[in-house]
Amino acid sequence: MHRYVSAASLFLYALPSSACPGHYRRGENGTAIPQTYQVQTRIKPATPTATVAITNVRVWDGYKVNEPSTVYIAGDSISGVQSTVDQSIDGRNGILLPGLIDAHAHPGSVQDLETLSSYGVTTVLNQNCQNYEYCSSMRGQTGLTSFFTAGFSAKGPGSSHANNSDTPLDKLIWEPSQAPAYVQYVFGNGSDWLKVVSEQNGPDQATQNALVENAHALGKKVNTHCSLVEFYNMAILSKSDGPQHIPMDGVLNDTMLDLMYSQKQYATPTMNVFYDQLHDPAAVAALGQPAIPFEEAWSVIKQNVAAVYAKGIPVLAGTDSTTPYAGLSVSFGNSLHYELWHLYQAGLPTEDILRAATILPALHHGLPHRGAIEEGMLADLVLLEPDADPIQAINDTMKISRVWIGGLEYMNVAK
């Protein structure tokens, strides 16, 4: 049985990796550069207590845009009709959306949460935690994007992710017998779900199966990194709740898709990270991806996303955004809007694309009181400009007028 060290004693390396194209920094000689995460503090605003009426808004209810009405905020939540109102805001006949959710990202600072907030991304799912103290500090940042997180990713010795992040030996896993202790360690440190990395030299099928089984025994979910067909299939067979990314090297077959559907798995394709990185052969090589011409790989990616959706498997919107390093990065906030555009290019209807960034990640990740505009839900809201209609043009999600997070208006909205 291998030994685990406490979170406090970890020497923490590089930004989280995934093929997930490559969240690590490299020096000129190609070696990983260690980078610690800094626990940050900020002066947090008080939790809101006022009652706000947002008048003349057309609420998108998850299925359609409704006729103009008034939405009430009482404190941090959406309320029923209020007899007294402290502030009234004219929505100017704009469409009101639930706050957007990025289901796959790697924010590295409070400033990243501010950027996400400015683009109407009110909840972010951090898909790898390198430092539990840091991850804990990112939670509950009043008035900023809510932060939920995976634990320290389960990686195999000699794998790309282990090597690129210089993961210590006692943080790697290579046989099923290690799974119970590994899972207990991850959730003992407050993680919301387990992240497994399925790749060459990663955990084998039996080990992935054991990790998922142990997490499920605790009532917890598992997300699995897998960007090639072989490793995507391993994630499916392990019964991981949510394979992350989408194969670029081959087409998902009906047997795989049928099994995903029957096992009630969901998919988070992160199309935008592939679109950003596959244009650059040097980036592809640095990220350990096969040297497939961009147009060919992009065609396969779109085909796979379309096939997943056509099978009835829930598709969640995620970006794989990360802090920039060495020219390899996906920006925070705006990348989620680009992801929605790529899902449209893959053939998804705009209504389902909006669900992919609101109610679906909330449901499949068990996020409380998010993803819809209903009484009792958190007042995470995005008001669009009067001329914006994302049902007709999904790009219009970028036309943001105002953003509320937990009932507090975020004042520095991206324009």
Residues 98 and 241: their CA atoms lie apart, in Å, by 24
Q: Which segment of 15-19, 36-40, 246-250, 303-307 scores lowest on mean pLDDT?
A: 15-19
Q: Give the confidence band of 170 by pLDDT, cuts at 50, 70, 90.
A: confident
Judged by DSSP in three states, 238 sits in helix
Asked which of 199-208, 281-290, 327-336 is least confident by mean pLDDT, the reply is 281-290
List, for residues 26-69, the tens digit of each pLDDT value. 334 444 344 456 787 888 999 999 999 999 999 999 999 999 99
At 26 the three-state DSSP class reads strand
pLDDT tens-digit series, residues 275-320: 988 877 776 665 667 788 889 999 999 999 999 999 999 999 999 9
Quickly state the pLDDT bin for 19 (edges 50, 70, 90).
very low
Task: Residue 288: name the closest of 31, 25, 19 by CA.
Answer: 19
User: According to the model, what pLDDT value does residue 162 have?
Assistant: 84
Which residue segments constitute the domains of the chain, with CATH numbers given?
51-96+372-410 (2.30.40.10), 100-364 (3.20.20.140)
Q: What is the pLDDT of residues 113-135, one digit of tens each?
A: 999 999 999 999 999 998 999 99
Helix locations, 311-398, DSSP H: 334-345, 350-356, 359-364
Cβ proximity of 131 and 152 under 8 Å: no
Is 209 in a helix, a strand, or coil?
Answer: helix
Segment 251-281, tens digit of pLDDT = 999 999 999 999 999 999 999 999 988 877 7
What is the pLDDT, as a whole number, of residue 348? 98
Report yes or no: 219 and 192 within 8 Å, Cβ to Cβ: no
How would you classify the pairing of strands 242-244 and 221-225?
parallel
**Run of H or E including 283:** helix 281-286
Q: Mean pLDDT over residues 395-412, rounded?
A: 97
